Structure 1
Amino acid sequence: MRTLLLALLLSPLCTYAAEATPEAAVSALWRALSHDAGADVDLPVLKRLFHADAVVFLGHYQKERLRLRRLSGIDFLKPSAPINKKGFYECEVARQLHRYDRFAVAYSVVESRSDQAASQPDFVGVNSIQLQQVGEQWQVLSLHYQVEKPGLPIPLDGGQSGRCLD
């Protein structure tokens, strides 16, 4: 009984330990956004990962023109509430990370699929993620996501399509 009680008390600490490095925070972000059909994103993890003042920029092309949308981190998480009928799987295939003290920036290439077993992604995106260490937890300060421009593939810089980093 004592072992069970100790495990229950320590389990929240283990969850936070998963994001004790900027690399772990970036990996947790992509895992939390992925979900099976009929399920939702891992909202508790995303809420923990995004700093209260976080900002998100979403870029995609529409008729050869880049559309850029800015959201607060809170607003970015709001559309996650409804259950998605299709699955959504994020596969990070390349990452470059630079860190100084309690600040880090990650350049990340992610393939998105509605069918996890699909050989080709539905779309590919490039991301710039700025992170700050708050206490022992690394949090996302900003995320800039841009979907691949038609005719201009995003270089994988040593990564391999379909081979997820984590």
Structure 2
Amino acid sequence: MKKLISLLFILLLSFTLNAQENTDAYSYKVETLDTTIKTLYAVISGEKGEERDWDLFKYLFKPDAKLIPSGKNKEGIYEARFMTPLDYINTSGTWLVENGFFEKEIYRKVDTFGNITQVFSTYESFYSETDTEPFMRGINSIQLLNDGQRWWVLNIYWTQETPDNPIPMEYLPKD
């Protein structure tokens, strides 16, 4: 019995240390608003066949965070779909790896009050980092919390640009 308890203690300690190492390894990626947003874009981006670091992806989000894509349904009515980070991984993770996907921020508008921040982040999407023309553009509305220790993503709510819903000039780079 003592051997079993000792083995369980060692396994628990090992699991705790591994979890702590992951936290320590990722902590610099959420120290600032800028590093958090850059990490968010980088972690989903990669060439065809390149695995993503889903542990890092999940690390960015506060528990109960949501990813909310929106767009028109077949009847032309705007809808929103609510996903957890794990739902996103399960529904999009394989596609990202099989097709290659790079999402690049091209413009950012930030509003902060106290510990809450709202970021309107305009993006362009590519299948490969070497592509010169995006296959899609849109805006991510990202809500974040700074708890005094780090930045947390609470929600990402986004929609793609369409011919009848172009990105307004105020959310595009000023050349």
Range into which the TM-score falls when normalised by the shorter chain:
0.7 to 0.9
Distance 2:35 2:103 in 1: 15
Of 47-56 and 15-24, more deviation after overlay is shown by 15-24
Indicate yes or no: 2:103 matched with 1:75. Answer: no
Matches within 5 A, 1:102-113: 102-113=115-126
Instruction: Report what 1:22 is aligned to.
Output: 33
Does the 8 Å contact 1:127/1:145 carry over to 2?
A: yes
User: How far apart in 1 are the matches of 2:99 and 2:156?
Assistant: 24
Of 136-145 and 68-77, the range deviating more from structure 2? 68-77
CA distance change for structure 1 residues 10 and 57 in 2, over 3 Å: closer, same or farther? closer
Question: How far off its partner does 1:132 sit?
Answer: 0.9
- TM-aligned CA deviation for residue 135 of structure 1: 4.8
**Alpha-carbon spacing, 1:10–1:81, altered in 2? closer, same or farther (3 Å):** closer
Residue 124 (str. 1) matches residue 124 (str. 2): no
Q: What is the total number of aligned residue pairs between the two structures?
A: 153
- Find 2:157's aligned residue among 121, 144, 164: 144
AA partner of residue 150 (structure 2) = Q
Using the size of structure 2 for normalisation, the TM-score is: 0.75
Change in Cα spacing, 1:44 to 1:10, as seen in structure 2 (3 Å) is closer
1:87 alignment partner, one of 100, 108, 127: 100
Moved more, 85-94 or 71-80: 71-80
- Amino acid paired to 1:68: A
Separation in 2, partners of 1:20, 1:156: 31
Larger Rg: 2
Counterpart contact for 1:60–1:149, Cα < 8 Å: no
CA 1:11–1:24: 2 relative to 1, 3 Å: same
Aligned residue identity for 1:159? P
Residues of 2 paired with 1:118 and 1:156: CA distance? 23
More divergent stretch after superposition (129-138 vs 140-149) = 129-138
* Cα distance, 1:81 vs structure 2: 4.4
Q: Does the 8 Å CA contact 2:41/2:104 hold for their aligned counterparts?
A: yes
Whose RCO is larger (CA < 8 A, sep 6+)? 1
Q: Output the CA distance in 2 between the equivalents of 1:14 and 1:101.
A: 27
Q: RMSD of aligned C-alpha atoms?
A: 2.6
The change in CA–CA distance for 1:103 and 1:118 in structure 2 (over 3 A counts) is: same
Structure richer in strand, relative to its length = 1
Please say if residues 43 and 80 of structure 1, whose CA atoms lie closer than 8 Å, have aligned partners that are also in contact. Answer: no
Q: Read off the aligned partner of 1:73 and give its amino acid letter.
A: P
Q: Given the two structures, how large is their TM-score scaled by the length of structure 1?
A: 0.79
